[in-house]
Structure 1
Amino acid sequence: MLLQDGVSIAFYLGHSHHDITQHIEHTLHVFQHAIAPASLDWYCDYEGDFHKINSAGRAFLEQEFHSSQFAHIHLADHVNGVGDYGFIYDGQWRENPDSPDASRVLSTVTFWLPTEFLESQGPVLVRELALKLSADLPFTSGHAGLAFNGQLSLLGVDELVHRERLRHPGMDVPDESASLHLGNRIRGVHWMNFLGPPVLAELGGVDALRERLKSPGTTVQPLSEGRAVITLGPEPDAGETARSPVLPPYRELARVLEPWMYFQGDSRPSRDAEAQRRWERRFLD
């Protein structure tokens, strides 16, 4: 299987790898405990090949976690097609003297769950897990919700996702390279939307958001250190363009966040700019 639906929980951090190593390791332990008895037994090497974690694998991961500059760690529960559970961390070196743009790139960490986990454990537990993962992360922004999980770089898979994403606007299409351009902007609207400084302050804080977001089921919850999470309803919704109206709470939040939203075309041209524009503005136009 090269493509399936899943639940993605992602955070963007304006910190270098060496400053957040302990935070990332802690969240990984939290995640592994939450998904047991499933386990992340496979790791990806520098060539993109997966191997069962053994003594050599543990040494590889130790080296990555404690690198003084960059780190890339990709763990999965199996390698037969798309894994059900996953952990992907890209730690950046924002003080890199050889890169004039180094201070703008973000470190990112993403956790993957299968939709079967959501169905069996319930959205309340998934939301609690996302909050637990966020608690020890100094994030700039983040999100959680339904997403396409697959080998999106393959031509046939890419074409299928481009068709399905317009039918189901509540499904995210992951973009691992967004962190190179995102900065303090927000990457779209999702079921759970984590906001940190400076965007939350510029929006007027939690009280101002509560005044502007009136859709039934939308909640705005303050978090520590000037952060907050906006949750759009009791459970994630893929949406369906054949139904009308299409995800009103998502559209309401998109209008509020529009001045701070990230649009790919602003920073890097797409091979199909019009299709990308339609996708990124699906809750605005």
Structure 2
Amino acid sequence: MVTERPPTLMPEGLELIQGDIRLTSLVFGINLYTHRSFYDEAAGLLSTWDLFLARCPPERLTFHATETMKAHKPVTKRVLGLLGAWLAPTTPRKNYLALELKASQGPEEAPVAKYEIWNVDASNQANILSLALPAGAAQETPGEMLAFVRQLADVFPFRSGLAGFTFECSRYDKQASETHAWDMSMRHPGINIVRIPFDAKAAGGDGIPGVNWLTMIDSERLKQLGGAMVLRRLLPSDIELIECRHGTLIQAGPRPLFGDVGQGDTLPLYREVHRLLAPWIEIAAEQSMALRIGKDAIARTDAWYRRLGG
């Protein structure tokens, strides 16, 4: 029987908690970007919802928000059926579609688990499927998280994607939560920062918003890189290439890592993937809106996109 390795030690102070409110949470994040409308890929998207519920039971989801809501409200049985109702063949199609269902103690908190979609038809922005699970799952059973991401990659038609340690930020205090996330991610570059819907603009039709433990590229991008055999030659043997239905999953090591530039842990395998995809990451950096981090936000956001490129 194959056993998992011991969990990765979590650095202290990664999350931001003010009073009793978790403004910045550390999760195992999965963010998939596509140029296709969710209405045209309804079966695949509904499959991702079923896969998510198999790992996060619906009773754990406490608050939700849609594109018409200014604040989160409690999850109800009707809310749990919204996605299926919206994507039913007889339901009128909307240009703008957004839904977040999250697990948190209060509506203003950053989630510790979530299922979120963002879809705008007839747009030059990407549509996004964004999932979060407790970070401990990735520490304790990385093989299970890899298998879960592979399942998602087989049913969801991604253009690109990232999976690994990720910061979720509260939308109710963006500057405090995103400033903390930026500080921690610059020191621990293995942690991504997800921002829905702003990542939709960064990814656009051809950008890649960075790399993580698992980085996904579609078949078209693989061809631009010269195909699977060329990609294999361009990357160290420690990096796994996993074929899936809609493209290739690039695995930078056996488990997700935090990194710590202060201790000289610069994540060399992550950097190799960043080097390979740097032209598309530059596109995302140029298209991205700045993080809400106060002074010099544009320059510091650019530095964040390039934190693994030095």
Alignment TM class, shorter chain as reference: 0.7 to 0.9
Runs of 4+ in 1 over 6 A off after TM superposition: none
Q: Which moved more, 1:62-71 or 1:202-211?
A: 62-71
Where in structure 1 are there 5+ consecutive unaligned residues?
A: 95-101
Question: Deviations along 1:82-140, whole A, 9 cap, x unmatched?
Answer: 3321000012212xxxxxxx2x22211011011122234x0000110111111111111
Q: Select which of 250, 257, 260 maps to 1:240.
A: 260
Letter in 2 for 1:49: H
Aligned residues: 273
User: What SS does structure 2 have at the residue aligned with 1:75?
Assistant: strand
How much has 1:42 moved relative to structure 2? 3.6
The 1:4/1:206 distance shift into structure 2, 3 A limit, reads same
2:285 and 2:302 in contact (8 A); partners too: yes
User: What SS does structure 1 have at the residue aligned with 2:41?
Assistant: helix
Who is 2:29 aligned against?
A: 8
User: What SS does structure 1 have at the residue aligned with 2:139?
Assistant: helix
Task: Work out the CA distance in 2 between the residues paired with 1:188 and 1:115.
Answer: 19
How much has 1:150 moved relative to structure 2? 2.4
Question: Deviations along 1:30-69, whole A, 9 cap, x unmatched?
Answer: 11012348643542242232222134x3565455334513
Who is 1:40 aligned against?
A: 61
User: What SS does structure 2 have at the residue aligned with 1:18?
Assistant: coil
Q: Select which of 133, 142, 146 maps to 1:123.
A: 142
Instruction: State whether structure 2 residue 126 is matched by structure 1 residue 106.
Output: yes
Q: Select which of 102, 106, 109 maps to 1:76.
A: 102
Instruction: State whether structure 2 residue 76 is matched by structure 1 residue 50.
Output: no
Who is 2:44 aligned against?
A: 23
1:139 and 1:196 in contact (8 A); partners too: yes
Task: Work out the CA distance in 1 between the residues paired with 2:240 and 2:86.
Answer: 38
Counterparts of 1:186-205 in structure 2, within 5 Å, are 186-205=208-227
TM-score normalised to the size of structure 2? 0.81
The alignment-based identity, stated in percent, is 21
Letter in 2 for 1:254: H
Q: Which moved more, 1:63-72 or 1:85-94?
A: 63-72
Who is 2:119 aligned against?
A: 91
The 1:71/1:198 distance shift into structure 2, 3 A limit, reads same
Task: Work out the CA distance in 2 between the residues paired with 1:282 and 1:49.
Answer: 33
Q: Select which of 165, 173, 176 maps to 2:193.
A: 173
How much has 1:263 moved relative to structure 2? 4.4
1:192 and 1:231 in contact (8 A); partners too: yes
Who is 1:224 aligned against?
A: 245
Task: Work out the CA distance in 2 between the residues paired with 1:148 and 1:22.
Answer: 29
The 1:190/1:150 distance shift into structure 2, 3 A limit, reads same
Q: Which moved more, 1:193-202 or 1:263-272?
A: 263-272
Q: Select which of 121, 124, 133 maps to 2:152.
A: 133
RMSD of Structure 2 on Structure 1 (CA) = 2.2
1:32 and 1:40 in contact (8 A); partners too: no
User: What SS does structure 1 have at the residue aligned with 2:274?
Assistant: helix
Question: Deviations along 1:137-191, whole A, 9 cap, x unmatched?
Answer: 1111111000112216522222222221211111001132122342122211110
Task: Work out the CA distance in 2 between the residues paired with 1:269 and 1:60.
Answer: 30
